[in-house]
């Protein structure tokens, strides 16, 4: 077994909202033994894995950390990923601002990765994905921690490492890898897609407007922050 099994086993129980005692009784083992399994102290046998999969209604591959899909399916290509943007009347419940913000981000990220895909730079794609994934991970973890039932046990990265800046360090490294991979691409300038305003407007007639909005709003905010910082340091 591996650490993913122990963590997933504990998370599934916490997600259901039951105690170790309740789960152990349902699984036909002692609470002490379940505690050992959840903490990675002991490895269970196949019979227990089967019982746990049935009890939590997940596949063995999910329990063992071999896939992120609970039913055991593996993501083989982009077509198998769920795309929320294809939903009709795709609006986030309770907040127009949240819906608008989401659309701006989703549209802009779509433009970015389409450009990177046309560039064919796998290192840049991976670095950009790592950077954005860590940003999302950080924001979601802060949100979960702030909730009344926030539980850091849901995450594998220790709280002290998370609060100590490990995600920020990862984003800095990802950005450095992104820049380095793009600099290496300069040797083949003919491969770069046309990114003039007219070309972008023509290629991305709808989503490019979202990117422009983010560029303008973010630029204004950064300039104001810099001006405010300069005033305070004078």
Instruction: Check pLDDT > 50 for residue 65.
Output: yes
pLDDT at position 12 over 70 = yes
- Position 83 in a domain: no
Residue 80 domain-assigned? no
In sequence order, what are the residues at sequence separation of 6 or more whose Cβ sits closer than 8 angstroms to the Cβ of residue 217?
A: none
Q: How confident is the model at residue 6, as a pLDDT?
A: 86
Q: Is the residue at 164 inside a domain? A: yes
Range of lowest pLDDT (8-17, 64-73, 125-134, 141-150): 64-73
pLDDT in tens, 128-137: 999 999 999 9
The whole-number pLDDT of residue 123 equals 92
| 183-216 pLDDT per residue, tens | 987 777 777 889 999 999 999 988 998 899 899 8
Q: Do 97 and 49 have their domain in common?
A: no
pLDDT-based confidence at residue 173 (cuts at 50, 70, 90) = very high
For the chain, give the secondary structure using H, E and C: CCHHHHHHHHHHHHHHCCCHHHHHHHHCCCHHHHHHHHCCCCCCCHHHHHHHHHHHCCCHHHHCCCCCCCCCCCCCCHHHCCCHHHCCCCCCCCCHHHHHHHHHHHHHHHHHHHHHHHHCCHHHHHHHHHHHHHHHHHHHHHHHHHCCCCCHHHCCCCHHHHHCCHHHHHHHHHHHHHHHHHHHHCCCHHHCCCCCHHHHHHHCCCHHHHHHHHHHHHHHHHHHHHHHHHHHHC
- pLDDT confidence tier of residue 93, bands split at 50, 70 and 90: low
**Domain coverage including residue 195:** 92-233
Inter-residue contact 67 to 5 (CB < 8 Å): no
**71 inside domain:** no
Query: What pLDDT band is residue 81 in, cutting at 50, 70 and 90?
Result: very low
Are 12 and 100 part of one and the same domain?
Answer: no
User: In CATH, what number is assigned to the domain containing residue 34?
Assistant: 1.10.260.40
> Rg of the chain's alpha carbons, rounded to an integer?
23
Q: What percent of the chain has pLDDT over 70?
A: 85
pTM above 0.75, yes or no: no
């Amino acid at each position: 077994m591996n650490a993913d099994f122990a963590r997933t086993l504990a998370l599934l129980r916490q997600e259901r909202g039951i105690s170790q005692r309740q789960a152990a009784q349902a699984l036909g083992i002692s609470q002490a033994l379940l505690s050992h399994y959840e903490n990675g102290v002991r490895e269970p046998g196949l019979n227990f894995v089967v019982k746990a999969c049935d009890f939590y209604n997940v596949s063995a591959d999910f329990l063992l950390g071999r896939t992120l899909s609970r039913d055991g399916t593996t993501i083989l290509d982009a077509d198998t990923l769920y795309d929320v943007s294809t939903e009709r009347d795709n609006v986030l419940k309770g907040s127009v601002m949240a819906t608008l913000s989401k659309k701006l981000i989703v549209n802009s990220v779509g433009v970015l990765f389409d450009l990177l895909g046309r560039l064919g730079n796998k290192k840049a794609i991976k670095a950009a994905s790592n950077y954005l994934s860590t940003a999302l991970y950080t924001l979601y973890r802060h949100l979960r921690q702030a909730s009344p039932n926030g539980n850091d046990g849901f995450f594998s990265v220790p709280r002290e490492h998370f609060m100590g800046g490990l995600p920020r360090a990862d984003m800095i490294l990802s950005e450095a890898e992104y820049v380095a991979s793009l600099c290496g691409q300069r040797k083949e300038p003919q491969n770069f897609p046309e990114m003039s305003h007219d070309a972008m407007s023509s290629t991305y007639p709808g989503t490019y407007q979202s990117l422009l909005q983010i560029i303008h709003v973010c630029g204004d905010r950064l300039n104001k922050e810099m001006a405010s910082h300069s005033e305070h340091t004078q």
